[in-house]
Amino acid sequence: MAMAQNQTRKYVSNTLFYVLYVAVAILFLAPLVFLFVSSLKDETQLISDMTTMKAFIPYGKMGLDNYVQVFEKMDFLHYFRNSAINAIIQVAAGLLINGMMGYALGLLEFKGRKFLISLMISLTIIPTEAVVINRFLVAVNLGVVNTVWALSLPNLAIPMYVYLFYQHFRGMPKDLVEAAVIDGESYTGIFFRIMTPLSKPIYATVAIMSFIRAWGDLLWPTLVVRDNTWMTLPQKLRSLNDSVYTYWGQIFAFSAMVTLPILIVFLVFQKQFVQSVAMTGIKG
């Protein structure tokens, strides 16, 4: 009897948890459904449905007209290329720089290491907006304003990413490093040949975070880009909203095309991302 009651409680408890999980999943997926469905509706239907539950339902006249109008109104591929180049530079160079810094702080012993760790942790709480003017003045003095380097270089070393790598490498066995040193391997070789292949989950996590940061950044590109040459997608999105009329259908279509690469990146690396969260205990 008691066993049956325990099984019933367990079944009810599991059911409630699954209902909660589904509700949370719907809550997070609803904006994406709204975005992609709305991007396929014509302007009149979209505006009438926007404040109702019909906004989530694909019905009526659906098509790709909004997407066609975006490509007719602007050179979308040019701005996509700018954002892609900026994101690739930030992700690739950022993984190398932040990974090597986290490796040095987490596994190597040197003078001033504890001070650098404390400094890095303190820098993670400083918002970007507090130092953005200083960074802008540095970019101006370096003469890189309105170039891809102005977009990318100030965002390569991020304290939070260094801290994530530090947390990961700190949990790696130091005996592995000592054995490699005895075998004649250099610390640089240990990083590239041993530690990097063993650290794919944390690299995937930081790559996703770095890509999202670079792809969706608006504040910094607005400061350092002066014309269409290196203008990014978030900047160009504002051109669809003028003083006379807001083109909601085109805005949704543009936003859908901007969002899609982020979804693809996450789906490709989701396994490594979940592994990294489980291994490092990252929250949020």
Amino acid at 24: V
Q: Which residues contact 87 (CB under 8 A, 6 or more apart)?
A: 210, 211, 214, 215
CATH 1.10.3720.10 domain extents, the chain = 77-280
77-280, which class in CATH? mainly alpha
E-assigned strand segments in 159-259: none
Q: What's residue 21's pLDDT? A: 87
What distance in Å separates the CA atoms of residue 207 and residue 158, rounded to the nearest whole number? Answer: 12
Tracing tokens 């949704």 back to the chain, one arrives at 252
Q: Which residues pair with 246 in a beta bridge?
A: 241
Q: What is the 3-state secondary structure (H, E, C) of 203-244?
A: HHHHHHHHHHHHHHCCHHHHHHCCCCCCCCHHHHHHHHECCC
Q: What's residue 279's pLDDT? A: 59
pLDDT mean over 50-66: 85
Q: What's residue 259's pLDDT? A: 93
Q: Residue 102: is its pLDDT beyond 90? A: yes
Q: What's residue 46's pLDDT? A: 87
pLDDT, tens only, 104-163: 998 888 888 889 888 888 888 888 888 888 889 988 998 889 999 999 988 888 999 999
Q: Residue 191: is its pLDDT beyond 80? A: yes
Q: Which of 140, 269, 134, 124 is nearest to 203 (CA)?
A: 269
Predicted TM-score of the model (pTM) = 0.84
Q: What's residue 231's pLDDT? A: 93
Amino acid at 88: I
Confidence of residue 283 (pLDDT cuts 50, 70, 90): very low
What distance in Å separates the CA atoms of residue 240 and residue 249, rounded to the nearest whole number? Answer: 10
Q: Percent of the chain, pLDDT > 90?
A: 37
Residues 166/102, Cβ–Cβ less than 8 Å: yes
